[in-house]
């Protein structure tokens, strides 16, 4: 007992010590064992890994929970065991057997056993929240999951998928935050009316990651604290995320030293702070692409020449260099750089003459009028206005309809837009995540069950759907990559998507902070090794 | 003599009766106002082309998940039925849960409202303490330099966007001079040193003897409070000036002067006292305005109050939270009006 209390005592002692020093300091400073970040975290609606599907909360999951497997953020093709020590795949490609590392513990002190892993996966499938499809796509349902995912020993379990998928797909999905390992004992204690502890875990914590989620006040602050039971002790005792909506305020706090990291600065602010001696800029390409969706229900947009013409009417480079400076690079294929088989060729550039030619071929020599549903954030509005100007050069009158993001999304999901401007982040690190939404559409009818982006734009990709389905079965990575290259080319040439940018995430960090890692997805943004000098 | 006592007693009964009548009237006004407010917000919330289900399930949920949540929210029921269910729950104080924070809306408001109250109260206090003397001076020295100054000050308070002024204030007093603390309500270092009881940080820290935390909170609130105080004083000083001009032109002021009372006594004791009656309403209104209108200030200063709560909720289609927040502000408005009304009666016997 006394031993257990010691770290807490030390923490409070450190806290008092830092307070004492902060009084005398003229310049504001954060405590040396605490990383303070400012970010816009109002998208957090839950901290239950079975439910989390938002950017900010994913990042918290990445730093507080562990999964069976994980991948190297510098080279995502390197998959390694996190809670798992090793795994094998059966010859028929359908059964995965995992052996767990011995002597691992949750933050609560409970040992991590195969029972916990099985419980966690059953739980995610049974709760069936937004991200559950990531596991559900392998044929698991509430009713069969108990037979498909089974404990076979104290530290051993099997996962049986319904088809012989490419193993990397299965592993990437088991490495997703929805498959995070939760502390069964703790959750059973907090269960109410068979809810799998859902109402409790929404705001509480039951994991084994580098940090413990200590406190969350929505729209105010979120506090992570070092997990003493984690196998590798974090250099910092605490990480605090302050919800600061105003980017100008974030900049002030950073320059003043009241925070260590500003996460949401706009391009001008980044330019300004990058001149400050005490601040450095961290950045990483993200698995998110920006695109226009052209609804094929609009007869003009349904013409192949018009789709082509619009691809020639975007000034890709200008957008990347000005409005999205620091925040994105030109990218025209649906797979983001870093994914298996991702194409990096960008054949389209602004070419008004070519676009006019194509429009004439489509019988629209004088152009046409069309609307674009636009979320009213300054970034998206800026891009939309740039496109409005270049579209006009070929006689296309683009009317921008600014609206709230939820409103735009509601219309988009009902296929009521002409053009939608949006961004799409991959759900997991496998190329199927984006191929499934951009290049496949099993049912293009109005009341289809699945509603991928191809459906939202009323596009029937024809043979591409079957090709996408086949790609997930290909166990030869080389061949699989080839199929994705072909799919990208087809969508690039003829699809109803004008993909124009891949997002880069930027953070402004004070010089004395080291090992602050931005990864390819938000759950890979890693503070577990961050330290301060 | 006897009749005088009688009539005096009758007067008391009459006063009590009129007071009770006032209370009943107030309850009716409050109830109907709130009912109207609920109805309008509820139906607007349901009519806007935003799907609250998406706010909960996110952009990529399967149709099954989507449909289940829609039914859980009761959105498949007829609109009138939805409203009736909402009303029945609201009467018991159950405004549902917020999508964003997952807490009951009432809990969220109980957390956020004190932050707004703290800021608006301090702002109004500053507005009253500085605004009234300024207004009086401007009226007394009509046409003078002071008068011009007060008028320009008032005009600026009306025309400069609060948002911009807030940022400039931060730049100057926080970033450049370092006199005050930056955005937020209290420094993270202190935020765990006290237990939130009233959720009014200044009060909580002071009651628990956490003086370092208290001074840190003071250093955080001073700039936004002064900003709100400025807007409040711009209004209060202008109204004070005009009420005072009105009073100073009255005959009783001339009479008082003729009686040889000192000028100070005439102005502060006689004229201001009479001007105070309409001023009460002005102050109450200004207070209510600060309560509802501190949205931008709260955004600039990352102040976790009701204004920020409602804006965030609106942006996220969190209709339960929007409805709850609007009701609280509506109730505050009605209450403040009543208080000013009662004070009015108390101060001005003619209205009894």
Instruction: State pLDDT tens for residues B71-130.
Output: 888 888 898 998 998 888 888 888 888 877 778 899 889 888 999 999 999 999 999 999
The total number of residues shown for chain B amounts to 352
- SS3 call for A211: strand
The pLDDT score that the predictor gives to residue B351 is 59
Q: How confident is the model at residue B219 (pLDDT cuts 50, 70, 90)?
A: very high
Q: Measuring CA to CA, how many Å separate A359 from each of A391, A399, A489? A: 12, 18, 22
Mutation target among A16, A52, A54, A218 for the B interface, most CBs of B within 10 A? A218
The tens digit of pLDDT for each residue in A357-378 reads 999 999 999 999 999 999 887 7
Q: How confident is the model at residue A109 (pLDDT cuts 50, 70, 90)?
A: very high
DSSP-assigned letter for residue B269 = I
For residue A181, which of A44, A50, A46, A47 has the smallest C-alpha distance?
Answer: A50
The pLDDT score that the predictor gives to residue B352 is 53
- Beta pairing class for A34-39 and A238-243: parallel
Q: Out of B50, B175, B189, whose CB is closest to A31?
A: B189
Name chain B contacts of A406, Cβ cutoff 8 Å: 50-51, 54-55, 315-317
Q: Measuring CA to CA, how many Å separate B175 from each of A510, B171, B182? A: 16, 5, 8
For residue B302, which of B174, B137, B193 has the smallest C-alpha distance?
Answer: B174
Residues 6 or more apart in contact with residue A7 via CB below 8 angstroms? A226, A228
On the question of pLDDT at B257 being above 70, the answer is yes
Nearest-angstrom CA–CA distance, A337 and A347: 16
Nearest-angstrom CA–CA distance, A40 and A56: 8
Name chain A contacts of B190, Cβ cutoff 8 Å: 19
Nearest-angstrom CA–CA distance, B347 and B352: 9
Contact A242 B61 (CB under 8 A): no
Return the higher-pLDDT residue of A391 and B55.
A391
- Mean pLDDT to the nearest integer, A266-287: 93
Mutation target among A23, A31, A45 for the B interface, most CBs of B within 10 A? A45
Predicted structure pTM score: 0.81
The tens digit of pLDDT for each residue in A302-319 reads 999 999 999 999 999 999
**Phi, psi dihedral angles at A460 (to 5 degrees):** -95, 110
Q: Which residue has the tokens 């191929």?
A: A435
DSSP-assigned letter for residue A344 = -
Nearest-angstrom CA–CA distance, A63 and A142: 28
| Nearest chain A Cα distance for residue B315, angstroms | 7
Name chain A contacts of B302, Cβ cutoff 8 Å: 242-246, 249
Instruction: Please report which residue ranges of B294-318 form alpha helices under DSSP H.
Output: 295-300, 306-315
Supply the ipTM of this predicted assembly: 0.71
Per-residue DSSP letters for B171-191?
A: IIIIIIS--S--SSSS-TTTT
Contact A410 B54 (CB under 8 A): yes
Return the higher-pLDDT residue of A19 and A471.
A471
Return the higher-pLDDT residue of A408 and A196.
A196
Instruction: Please report which residue ranges of A393-527 form alpha helices under DSSP H.
Output: 405-413, 432-438, 453-456, 463-471, 477-494
Instruction: Please report which residue ranges of chain B form alpha helices under DSSP H.
Output: 2-47, 52-57, 63-72, 79-91, 105-140, 145-159, 162-169, 201-207, 211-248, 251-258, 263-264, 272-293, 295-300, 306-315, 319-347
Contact A256 B55 (CB under 8 A): no
Q: Out of A129, A242, A405, whose CB is closest to B188?
A: A242
Go through A245-258 and write b for each residue having 16 or more CB atoms within 10 A of its CB, e for each that does not: bbbbbbbbbbbbbb
CA dihedral B118, B122, B125, B129 (to 10 degrees): 170
Residue B13, Cβ neighbours under 10 Å: how many? 9
**Phi, psi dihedral angles at A150 (to 5 degrees):** -130, 145
Lowest mean pLDDT among A38-52, A151-165, A269-283: A38-52
Element (H, E) at A171: helix A167-174
Residue B116, Cβ neighbours under 10 Å: how many? 28
Mutation target among A28, A249, A276, A401 for the B interface, most CBs of B within 10 A? A249
The pLDDT score that the predictor gives to residue A432 is 96
On the question of pLDDT at B3 being above 60, the answer is no
DSSP lists the bridge partners of residue A513 as A532
Contact A427 B55 (CB under 8 A): no
Q: Out of B57, B170, B309, whose CB is closest to A252?
A: B170
């Amino acid at each position: 007992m006394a031993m257990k209390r010691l770290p807490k005592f030390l923490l409070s002692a450190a806290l008092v010590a830092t307070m004492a020093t902060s009084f005398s300091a003229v310049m504001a400073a954060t405590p040396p064992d605490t990383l303070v970040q400012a970010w816009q975290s109002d998208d957090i609606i839950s901290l239950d890994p079975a439910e989390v599907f938002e950017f900010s909360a994913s990042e918290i999951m990445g730093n507080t929970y562990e999964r069976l497997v994980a991948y190297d953020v510098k080279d995502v093709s390197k998959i390694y065991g996190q809670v798992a020590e090793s795994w094998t795949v059966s010859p028929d490609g359908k059964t995965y057997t995992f052996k767990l590392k011995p002597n691992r513990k949750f933050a609560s002190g409970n040992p991590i056993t195969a029972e916990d892993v099985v419980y966690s996966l059953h739980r995610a499938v049974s709760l069936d929240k937004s991200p559950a499809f990531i596991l559900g796509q392998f044929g698991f349902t509430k009713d069969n999951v108990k037979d498909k995912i089974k404990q076979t020993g104290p530290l051993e379990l099997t996962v049986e998928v319904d088809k012989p998928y490419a193993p990397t797909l299965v592993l990437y999905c088991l490495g997703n935050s929805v498959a995070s390992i939760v502390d069964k004992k703790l959750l059973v204690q907090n269960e109410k009316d068979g809810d799998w502890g859902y109402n409790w875990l929404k705001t509480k914590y039951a994991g084994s990651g580098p940090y413990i989620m200590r406190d969350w006040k929505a729209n105010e602050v979120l506090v992570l604290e070092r997990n003493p039971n984690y196998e590798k002790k974090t250099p910092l005792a605490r990480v605090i995320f302050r919800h600061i909506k105003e980017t100008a305020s974030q900049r002030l706090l950073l320059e003043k030293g009241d925070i260590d990291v500003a996460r949401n600065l706009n391009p001008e602010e980044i330019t300004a702070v990058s001149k400050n001696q005490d601040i450095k800029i961290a950045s990483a390409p993200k698995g998110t692409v920006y695109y226009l969706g052209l609804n094929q229900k609009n007869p003009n947009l349904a013409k192949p020449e018009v789709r082509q013409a619009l691809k020639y009417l975007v000034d890709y480079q200008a957008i990347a260099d000005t409005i999205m400076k620091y925040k994105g690079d030109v990218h025209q294929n649906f797979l983001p750089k870093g994914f298996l088989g991702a194409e990096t060729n960008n054949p389209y550039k602004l070419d008004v003459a070519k676009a006019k030619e194509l429009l004439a071929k489509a019988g629209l020599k004088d152009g046409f009028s069309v609307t674009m549903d636009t979320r009213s954030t300054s970034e998206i509005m800026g891009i939309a206005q740039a496109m409005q100007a270049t579209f006009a050069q070929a006689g296309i009158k683009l009317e921008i309809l600014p609206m709230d993001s939820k409103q735009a999304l509601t219309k988009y999901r009902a296929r009521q837009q002409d053009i939608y401007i949006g961004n799409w982040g991959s759900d997991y690190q496998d190329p199927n995540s984006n191929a499934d939404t951009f290049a496949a559409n099993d049912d293009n009818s109005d009341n289809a069950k699945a509603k991928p982006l191809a459906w939202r734009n009323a596009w029937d990709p024809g043979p591409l759907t079957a090709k996408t389905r086949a790609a997930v079965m290909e166990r030869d990575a080389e061949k699989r990559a080839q199929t994705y290259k072909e799919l990208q080319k087809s969508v690039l040439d003829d699809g109803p998507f004008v993909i124009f940018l891949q997002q880069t995430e930027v953070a402004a960090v004070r010089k004395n902070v080291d090992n602050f890692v931005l990864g390819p997805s938000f759950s890979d943004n890693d503070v577990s090794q961050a330290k301060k000098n | 003599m006897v009749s005088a006592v009688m009539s005096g007693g009758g007067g008391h009964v009459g006063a009590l009766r009129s007071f009770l009548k006032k209370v009943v009237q107030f309850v009716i006004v409050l109830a109907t106002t709130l009912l109207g407010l609920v109805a309008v917000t509820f139906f607007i919330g349901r009519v806007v082309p935003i799907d609250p289900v998406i706010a909960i399930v996110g952009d990529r949920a399967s149709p099954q998940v989507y449909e289940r949540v829609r039914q859980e929210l009761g959105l498949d029921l007829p609109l009138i039925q939805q409203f009736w269910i909402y009303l029945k729950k609201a009467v018991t104080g159950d405004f549902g849960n917020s999508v964003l924070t997952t807490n009951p809306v009432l809990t969220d408001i109980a957390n956020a409202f004190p932050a707004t109250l703290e800021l608006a109260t301090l702002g109004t206090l500053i507005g009253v303490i500085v605004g009234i003397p300024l207004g009086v001076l401007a009226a007394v020295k009509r046409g003078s330099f002071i008068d011009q100054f007060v008028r320009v000050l008032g005009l600026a308070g009306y025309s400069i966007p609060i948002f911009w002024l807030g940022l400039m204030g931060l730049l100057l007093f926080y970033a450049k001079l370092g006199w005050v603390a930056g955005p937020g309500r209290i420094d993270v270092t202190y935020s765990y040193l006290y237990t939130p009881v009233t959720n009014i940080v200044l009060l909580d820290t002071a009651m628990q003897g956490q003086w370092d935390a208290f001074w840190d909170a003071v250093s955080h609130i001073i700039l936004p409070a002064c900003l709100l105080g400025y807007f409040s004083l711009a209004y209060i000083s202008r109204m004070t000036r005009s009420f005072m001009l009105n009073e100073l032109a009255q005959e009783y002021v001339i009479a008082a002067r003729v009686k040889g009372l000192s000028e100070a006594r005439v102005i502060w004791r006689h004229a201001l006292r009479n001007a105070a009656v309409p001023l009460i309403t002005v102050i109450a209104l200004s207070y209510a305005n600060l309560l509802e209108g501190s949205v931008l200030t709260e955004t600039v200063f990352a102040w976790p109050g009701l204004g920020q709560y409602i804006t965030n909720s609106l942006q996220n289609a969190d209709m339960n939270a929007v409805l709850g927040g609007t009701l609280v502000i509506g109730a505050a408005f009605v209450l403040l009006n009543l208080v000013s009304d009662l004070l009015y009666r108390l101060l001005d016997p003619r209205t009894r």
